[in-house]
Structure 1
Amino acid sequence: MANSSLKIPQPSPRKYLYLPPSVFWSIRQEFPKWLSLLLVGIALIVPLLLWTAISSLNLVPPIFLPTPAAVMNAGIKMFAEDNLTLDVIVSSTRVLAGFIVAGIIGVPMGLAMGTFYSLDSLFAPIVGTVRYMPVTGFVPLIVIWLGLEEPSKILIIMLGVVLYNAIMVADAVKFIPNEMINVAYTLGATRRDVVFKVIIPGAFPSILDTLRVNISGAWNFLVIAELVASQNGLGFKIIQAQRFLQTDKVLFCIALIGVIGLVIDYGLKWISQRLTPWADQIHH
């Protein structure tokens, strides 16, 4: 009878919480175009205003941080007197050549690793080991093997990107659902059909995104590549200006590389949207 007097606490009714609507903090929902443009403007203008204020008030010596106007004047002078246009063309050609070679090698390797467990077991130890080795450590060997001409510079840029292409493409292939492959086999597809009609089309949007992301790595290795007995190029100009403490020229060349990279990024994004319009529909 004593036990019957005990009252077992009953769980309180569950309260359902409703999220209030939010524009700024919405997760993968529609976002106003005007607000997007406003945030882009703030992200670009605020750092520029801070730079202008700090340099104009001489809070930092001009030799370390010249004003934006001084940097622009240095850039105009470099285009007019130092033939900077030729340096832009030379550097862009080197980056493009190294990146194309990295794509020709890295993309098929990534497809093979992501598709076949046998090739993943074969290549993964090599890729996983070599990608931690600094490319700068190979520069003396590359000079010995290829000399000081263009092939050595292209090889340095290629080595900086190729393994990341392979790894990211392999991961993209592994995200293709096994159900798609099994359905293809059920419909009578051969292994060749699965590779060329299921895996490659399924991974194609991710391959384009991989190339768009990794081309920035090619530009990052440009300065290292142009350390090898270069007489022109944006990396060469940066190194040359650094030796004479010409910070305005250094900053302009760095900003110019950033602008070129941004144009390439938006260009590749535009191409990706035209070639794979279904990818955006899936994401949205």
Structure 2
Amino acid sequence: MSNTATTVAAPPAPATRRRRGLAPLEPVSATSKWVLGLGFFVVFFAVWAFATLGGYVSPTFLASPITMAQEGWLLFAEYNFIHDIGMTVWRVFGGFILAAIVAVPLGIAMGAHKGVEAFFEPFVSFCRYLPASAFIPLLILWAGLGELQKLLVIFIGSVFQIVLMVAVTVGAARKDLVEAAYTLGANNTGIVRRVLIPGAAPEIAETLRLVLGWAWTYVIVAELIGSSSGIGHMITDSQALLNTGQIIFGIIVIGLIGLISDFAFKALNRRLFAWSSL
């Protein structure tokens, strides 16, 4: 009976293997990732070109890829767009680094000590639902229209998210490792320094990578009001002139810079935490 059951059950195996490439959660090779990722952009630009060059969409509402590229070249050649890019990058990383300096230690303290968490968590949870753009009128009153105001917009948009995400990561540490460290003679400070922080470090780095992506969305809001430079300032000026080519080019530049920074962050995390599965 067992031999018969084995014989009957055997044929579906090849079919299962043939379907494995489309199975849920089945990984794909690095080459396939690149091909599929680039394939989407090829399809996207092809549809865009078909809609605009074919006359299906008015240039007033959507410039063609060719017009967008021409306007982008004009921005670099005549309007010193590289300076705008530099200012935007400086604002994003400046505000984000300030947020990380404040948020990571506070998040570690909240995750490690429940009393600290009970004190700060309600306020931090309340603040993280407040849109950073809502603070702009107050920040203009407090800090003027200079760089500090723009850095603070990105700081406010990032700091509360980092605090809570770091606190959750640190608080999810394995209790058996903590108990083992106490058994070996570690004190409270040693538990935080030798167990909680090293164990949570890869997840904290991944949290910073994710929030950096959010910081790029805040910078345009920060540059829309009272700014004389930056990609957001260029987009605002282009909107007044109905120059959709420059608007789209600015948006694409932001996406490209964000993508490059994301890849760099991933590579750094893999190098620093090679033992982690992230």
Task: Settle same-fold status: TM greater than 0.5.
Answer: yes
Please list the CA deviations of residues 113-163 of structure 1 after superposition, one character each: whole Å capped at 9, or x if unmatched.
111110110111101111112222211111111111111110011101111
1:148 and 2:150 correspond: no
The 5-angstrom pairing of residues 138-217 of structure 1 reads 138-217=135-214
2:30 corresponding residue in structure 1: 33
The question of 1:259 aligning with 2:249 is answered no
Higher mean C-alpha displacement, 26-35 vs 68-77: 26-35
Indicate which of 104, 113, 128 corresponds to 2:101.
104
Give structure 1 stretches of 5+ with no counterpart.
1-12
- Partner residue of 1:8? none
Q: Which amino acid aligns with 2:16?
A: P
1:225 maps to 222
Q: Is the 8 A contact 1:78 1:84 kept in 2?
A: yes
Structure 2 counterpart of 1:225, one-letter code? A
Q: Deviations over 1:173-211 (max 9, x none)?
A: 122111111111111111111101111111110111111
Equivalent residue, structure 2, for 1:66 = 63
CA apart distance, 1:33: 3.1
3-state secondary structure, aligned to 1:279: coil
Over 3 Å counting, the alpha-carbon distance change for 1:79 and 1:23 in structure 2 is farther
The structure richer in helix per residue is 2
* Whole-angstrom CA distance in 1 between matches of 2:215 and 2:32: 33
Q: Which has the larger radius of gyration?
A: 1
Q: Which amino acid letter does the alignment assign opposite residue 158 of structure 1?
A: F
> Match for 1:246: what amino acid?
N
Q: Secondary structure at the match of 2:145?
A: coil
The alpha carbon displacement at 1:30 in A equals 4.8
Indicate how the Cα distance of structure 1 residues 30 and 144 shifts in structure 2: closer, same or farther if over 3 A, else same.
closer
Name the aligned partner's letter for residue 233 of structure 1.
G
Q: In the alignment, residue 75 of structure 2 is paired with which amino acid?
A: M
Q: What code does the residue aligned with 1:46 have?
A: V
- Note the 1:263-274 alignment, pairs <5 A: 263-274=260-271
TM-score by length of 2: 0.91
Q: Classify the secondary structure of the residue corresponding to 1:277.
A: coil
Give the secondary structure class of the aligned counterpart of 2:224. coil
Matches within 5 A, 1:84-99: 84-99=81-96
Structure 1 vs Structure 2 CA RMSD? 1.9
User: Structure 1 residues 26-35 or 107-116, which shifts more?
Assistant: 26-35
Q: Deviation per CA, 1:4-53, whole angstroms, max 9, x where unpaired?
A: xxxxxxxxx9x999792344334555523332222112222111111111
Q: Is the Cα–Cα contact under 8 Å of residues 102 and 158 in structure 1 kept in the other structure? A: yes
User: Aligned to 1:76, which of 51, 73, 77?
Assistant: 73
Judging changes above 3 Å, is the alpha-carbon distance between structure 1 residues 90 and 185 closer, same or farther for their aligned structure 2 residues? same
Residue 221 of structure 1: SS of its match in structure 2? Answer: helix
- % identical equivalent positions: 34
Q: Secondary structure at the match of 2:130?
A: coil
The aligned residue for residue 20 of structure 1 is 16
Q: Unaligned 5+ residue runs, structure 2?
A: none
Please, which moves more after superposition, 22-31 or 254-263? 22-31
Question: 2 CA distance for matches of 1:276 and 1:52?
Answer: 43
Q: Distance in 2 between matches of 1:137 and 1:127?
A: 16
Structure 1 window deviating more from structure 2 (165-174 vs 261-270): it is 165-174
Distance in 1 between the 2:25 and 2:173 partners? 22
Q: Quote the Cα distance in structure 2 between the aligned partners of 1:95 and 1:197.
A: 32
Asked if the contact 1:23–1:31 (Cα under 8 Å) also holds between the matched residues in 2, the reply is: no
